[in-house]
Chain A
Amino acid sequence: MSINGKAYIAGAYEHPSRISLDKTLPQLHAEIAKGVLEDAGLTKDDVDAYFCAGDAPGLGPINMIEYMGLNNVRHMDSTETGGSSYIVHVNHAAQAIAAGHCNVALITLAGRPVADAKEGKPARFFNPQAPDLPFEMPYRFNVVNMYAMCAMRHMHEYGTTSEQLAWIKVAASHHAQHNEHAKLRNVVTVEDVVNSPMVADPLHRLDCCVVTDGGGGLLVVSPEVAKSLKRPLVKVLGAGEAPKHLAGGHVDLTYSGACWSGPKAFEEAGVRPADIKYASIYDSFTITVLETLEDLGFCEKGKGGAFVSDGNLISGVGKLPFNTDGGGLCNNHPGNRGGITKVIEAARQIRGEAHPKVQVPNCDIALAHGTGGLLGARMGSATLILGSEAA
């Protein structure tokens, strides 16, 4: 069953906080739920489905349903694929709505890694029973060096340069200067990026995303509900999700799961990469964006470096405006998970409610893509294509 036209994004809300010392994690989730319901013009009693991922404290969705007093939930899903979870959730919510299981699906993401660190709480938890961990943990992998090996290999195979990767940060910074909530608002140059301290070769500090508290929420609703509200319509056109992993030792770090989630989403939406007016691309690191753009078919494999150069991702300048909120690279990567903010900015673009300096004119088709886990090992990829009512 296709989800094309069967569901709409009726609410999109990004928490303004970037450091949340004075708020608990459940409180952030609830503030986000309140914000997204107000954005849509709905109440909590309208919510009949709740979606969350591993950042929600408790037994899957249950504890947050209790805390928020969501009394009419008849469908729930706590799929966890890291930062891409929330894009998977939109897909699953649209499928559930199309199947008649619910009409108003609430999705929340919240995190407080900055506050947790200040309070001395452990940063990251790996399940010691994960099958891969015994063979990887002793080698001192971390998020940066695992993505760095992808960049190193991509450079080796395709001649990609640090300067080309830097253009991705430069484009994000051009957008972030207009976002009052962005963690990093200074416009940076290619030189700034390549001269920033090396964290893990070949990734510099400015090749990395920000670490922030806060989060975001979405409401996915049936066409009937969407058309009863006063907000501009944002239609779900298609979605795809895919795992990618090391395949028993057949390692290839030059592509991501977008190779599979992308074509599925494009087929369902009935559009091609050339039809996309705006793209939210998961940007944990610059290399994440580069490989994803290639895998989604915006350019040929290996040509991502040339594609992103010279401002091609800057709104009003280049051919593919991306992450006009400043993205994870400059604006917000709440809870070390940027998936939901990707959908929020894509919805703003379709609604025509992005910042005027970065709003894409006549933005009728937009894409949001998430990469969860480690590009250098195993990941969950998810692609979502949204459109205006006319699309």
Chain B
Amino acid sequence: MSTEQKNKPRLIVNSESRPYWEGAANGQLLIRKCNSCDKVHYYPRTICPHCFSDDTAFIEASGNGVIYSYSVTRQANPPYVIAYVTIDEGVSMLTNIVDCDVEKVHIGQKVKVSFLETEEGYALPVFTPV
């Protein structure tokens, strides 16, 4: 129990990111979409980095993606997998691949979102092999 508590990820929560973490706590992977240029972006911002419109909103992503690249950090105990996952909506996000055989993780591998509870009671989106 104490080990699990200790291993919970810690977040930096601010007014711009709070809805994202609340969404994750509700089991939703949120990305930001611009109502002016219709493009999505990640990480989420209030002003669209593509067209600079302030008419943006969170939308729920499908939660499915493929690994764009990854690395196994061997110095950690246990080793962990950091990755960029390209989700179906077309943007790539930094994440961890969890609940996997670290020796079998590969580029192009299909993954789906899952959520780790954080210290603050929110959740952190991570991915697992399909």
Binding site for B on A (CB under 8 A): 128, 131-142, 144-146, 148-150, 152-153, 156, 197-203, 246-251, 253, 377
Give which listed residue, A132, A138, A156, contacts B118 with CB less than 8 A: A138
Contacts of A136 in B (CB 8 A): 94
Contact of A135 among B39, B50, B93 (CB under 8 A): B93
In the bound complex, how far is the Cα of B70 from the Cα of A202, in angstroms?
A: 10
* Extra 10 A-B pairs, beta carbons < 8 Å, given A135-B42, A140-B80, A148-B71: A135-B17, A149-B69, A149-B83, A153-B68, A156-B107, A199-B74, A199-B75, A202-B71, A251-B92, A377-B94
Q: How does the 8 Å CB contact mask read for B7-43 relative to A, with 1 for contact and 0 for none?
A: 0011111101100000000000001000000011111
B59 contacts which chain A residues (CB < 8 A)? none
Partner among B10, B71, B108 whose Cβ is within 8 Å of the Cβ of A138: B10
Q: Which residues of B contact A201 (CB under 8 A)?
A: 70-72, 74
Name A156's contact: one of B40, B69, B96 (CB within 8 Å): B69
Q: Which residue of A lies closest to B83 (CB)?
A: A149
Which residues in B have their C-beta under 8 angstroms from that of A140? Answer: 73, 76, 80, 82, 96
Interface membership of chain B positions 42-80, coded 1 if the CB is closer than 8 angstroms to chain A and 0 otherwise: 110100011000000000000000001111111110001
Known contacts A136-B94, A248-B42, A249-B41; is-contact A128 B84 (Cβ 8 Å): no
When C-beta atoms are compared, the residue in chain A nearest to B116 turns out to be A138
Is the CB–CB distance between A149 and B84 below 8 Å?
Answer: yes
Q: Note all chain A residues with C-beta closer than 8 A to B41.
A: 248-249
Which of chain A's residues have a CB closer than 8 A to the CB of B16? 131
Cα–Cα distance between A135 and B71 once the two chains are bound (Å): 18
Q: Using Cβ atoms and an 8 Å threshold, which residues of chain A touch B84?
A: 149, 251, 253
In the complex, 20 of the A-B residue pairs with CB atoms within 8 angstroms, ordered by the A residue number, are A131-B43, A134-B11, A134-B13, A135-B42, A138-B118, A139-B94, A139-B126, A140-B96, A141-B94, A150-B69, A152-B69, A152-B70, A152-B71, A153-B69, A156-B107, A197-B74, A200-B72, A248-B41, A249-B90, A249-B93
Cross-chain contact of A200 among B14, B17, B73, B107 (Cβ < 8 A):
B73
Whether the pair B43, A200 counts as a contact (CB closer than 8 A) is no
Contact between chains at A251 and B86 (CB < 8 Å): yes
- State whether the Cβ of B114 lies closer than 8 Å to any Cβ in chain A: no
Assuming A139-B82, A248-B49, A249-B91, is B12 touching A133 (CB within 8 A)?
yes
Question: Do A149 and B82 touch across chains, with their CB atoms under 8 A apart?
Answer: yes
With A249-B42, A253-B69 as contacts: A198 and B118 at CB distance below 8 Å: no
Cα A133 to Cα B92 in complex, Å, equals: 16
A138 contacts across to B, CB distance below 8 A: 9-11, 118, 124
Q: Hey, which chain B residues are within 8 Å of A134, CB to CB?
A: 11-14, 17, 43
Most chain A C-beta atoms within 10 Å of own C-beta, residue among B31, B43, B96:
B43
Bound Cα distance A197, B9 (Å): 27
In the bound complex, CA of A144 to CA of B75 (Å): 11
Per-residue A-contact encoding for B95-119, CB less than 8 Å = 1, 0 else: 1100000000001100000000010
Knowing A138-B10, A138-B118, the reply to whether A250 touches B82 (Cβ < 8 A) is: no
Q: Which 4 pairs of residues, A with B, have the shortest CB-CB distance?
A: A249-B91, A248-B41, A249-B42, A148-B71
Distance of A206 from chain B, by nearest CB (Å)? 14
Contact A135 B43 (CB under 8 A): yes
CB contacts (< 8 Å) of B10 on chain A: these are 138
